[in-house]
Amino acid sequence: MTLFHASLISFLYQKWHLGLIIFSGAVSVKMNVLLFAPPLLILMLKAMDIFGVITAGAGAALVQVLLGLPFLLSYPVAYVSRAYDLGRVFIHFWSVNFKFVPEPVFVSKGFAVSLLATHLVLLGIFAHYRWCRHEGGVFSLVRSKLVQLKLKYSVTSSFPVNRRFCSNSRALGADHIVSTLFVGNFIGILCARSLHYHFQPWYFYSLPYLLWRTPFPTWLR
């Protein structure tokens, strides 16, 4: 989480490429950081053009390759299958969030799929109606980026291309960056099949901030 916070500082200063490299380092330590990835992708699409997003992603992927190189050279299949295992079954005994769910249900594939579906639906709702509200929704954001990419690399000589318009790089507000990342992470926490006691540093510090971003009365918050 310390590495993630370092990447968050970089994002606040609009250093997206540097921030994503540090973010990838955080993922290499603990994969819970991937919960921040969907909202981070939205922020990057809003802050940069598609080419910038791709190059930043390539930098993050390079970090994963370099850190895993000793294992990739020796046991590539074993390393990839175990280091990025997203399908492992957690032990019901250690769960503190779904302890009330019977163990046969907890370890079942159907329960895992339902949590994943809920996670994706909530991310889709927030991405479309909250995070990309000013852009007209997530689909409008992606469509505009594709149009800009087409215009940027257009070779038509009859119509001059406004390069400034095509880049569409803009600085995002600090509140928007932080709240988007923290909400995306908290959605993942809500839909996680198993949280252990020591997983609280993933999110507990963000709860006061998220509460104070709501429009509820102070006493309720």
Q: How many residues does the chain have?
A: 221
Cβ(145)–Cβ(50) below 8 Å:
yes
- Residue ranges per structural domain of the chain: 2-212
Q: Which residue has the tokens 């981070």?
A: 40
Cβ(22)–Cβ(111) below 8 Å:
no
Secondary structure letter of residue 136 according to DSSP: T
Among the listed residues 181, 219, 176, 218, the one whose alpha carbon sits nearest the alpha carbon of residue 203: 181
Q: How far is CA 9 from the centre of its chain?
A: 15
Per-residue pLDDT at 85: 74
Per-residue pLDDT at 155: 52
Q: Can you say whether the dihedral through the CA atoms of 179, 183, 184, 185 is positive or negative?
A: positive
Q: At what angle do helices 50-74 and 37-47 cross, to 10 degrees?
A: 140
C-alpha to C-alpha distance for 51 and 69, rounded to whole angstroms: 26
Per-residue model confidence as pLDDT tens for the chain (221 residues): 999 999 999 999 999 999 999 999 999 999 999 999 999 999 999 999 899 999 999 999 999 999 999 999 999 988 888 887 777 777 888 888 998 999 999 989 999 999 999 999 999 999 999 999 998 999 999 888 888 877 776 654 444 444 444 445 577 999 999 999 999 999 999 999 888 888 899 999 999 999 999 999 999 99
Per-residue pLDDT at 169: 59
Residue type, position 60, single letter: A
